Amino acid sequence: MTQTGVDHPFPDHLFLVGCGNMAGQMLSRWLDCGLDRERVTVLRPSGRPVTDGVAVMTDYPAALPAGTTVLLGMKPYQIADVAVALAPLCVADTRIVSILAGTTLADLRARFPVARDIVRAMPNLPVGLGEGVTALFTDDVTSAQAKMDVAALIEPLGLVEWIADEALFNQVTALSGCGPAFLFRFVDALAQAGEAIGIPADQAARMALATVQGSANMAARANDGPGVLADRVASPGGMTREGLNALDADDRLLTLLIDTLAAARDRGEAMARGA
């Protein structure tokens, strides 16, 4: 059985191992969408409260309730210790959703051999607003019903994208998982550039953020791609075109972003090797 809240099906019980920045955003959104707080348990060694009505444990329970979905939301390097304590509690119908960067499905299956349904997920921070992106990957061992249920659980968080090849998971993580940080840096740089050409710092910061927010909303609603929209804004010989010429010279912006994503991807691959 599942709990339904605001048209979204939730598992009978949700057990979060860790509730840091990302897992906390996911939980916040699920609660906003009607997840019953009494059906949630958070394992948090610090014992710090999460939110009213959500139980927090400092150690593992003697058993997991039937129909539990486990969200692995701790730091990736903690997986070995977590698995030693958690694996004995898992039964065949325990579903595991992992948001651990660099931790492969094969590794998860080796550590949790009894659990049949295991899904890797890579969300990004806007999931807390219901405007995030979450990439999902699993294999044929996971049941079709579990795939549908996990997708339904993730849908309130924003865009859901199933990835066919796990080898692309680090690339996807670099783009959408790490992407908000890169975009935050861009907004900050745009504001600093505005200040550098004479705009007061506080005004430049407000204007940069509002410009990016409005432009992203416009792109999301447009029928054409962002590249077409950029050219449509740029009149021949005008200010925008001259600025785009600076961005486009020698593909400097594209090259910078490729280097940025490649660096993040490479780190994910190194983490998967235990480096």
Whole-number pLDDT of residue 1? 40
Q: pLDDT in tens for each of the 275 residues of the chain? A: 455 554 567 999 999 999 999 999 999 999 999 999 999 999 998 999 999 999 999 999 999 999 999 999 999 889 999 999 999 999 999 999 999 988 999 999 999 999 999 999 999 999 999 999 999 999 999 999 999 999 999 999 999 999 999 999 889 999 999 999 999 999 999 999 999 999 999 999 999 999 999 999 999 999 999 999 999 999 899 999 999 999 999 999 999 999 999 999 999 888 877 76
User: Which of 122, 149, 119 lies closest to 268, judged by CA?
Assistant: 122
Whole-number pLDDT of residue 7? 53
Whole-number pLDDT of residue 8? 62
Whole-number pLDDT of residue 4? 53
Within 10 Å of residue 188's Cβ, how many Cβ atoms? 13
Q: Which domains does the chain have, with CATH numbers?
A: 3-169 (3.40.50.720), 179-272 (1.10.3730.10)
Rg (CA), the chain: 21
Q: What is the largest CA-CA distance in the chain?
A: 71
Sheet containing 158-162: give its strands across. Answer: 55-57, 40-43, 13-17, 68-72, 95-98, 117-122, 132-137, 158-162
Note whether 92 and 64 are within 8 A (CB).
Answer: no
User: Which of 181, 156, 31 lies closest to 101, judged by CA?
Assistant: 181
Whole-number pLDDT of residue 196? 98
pTM: 0.86
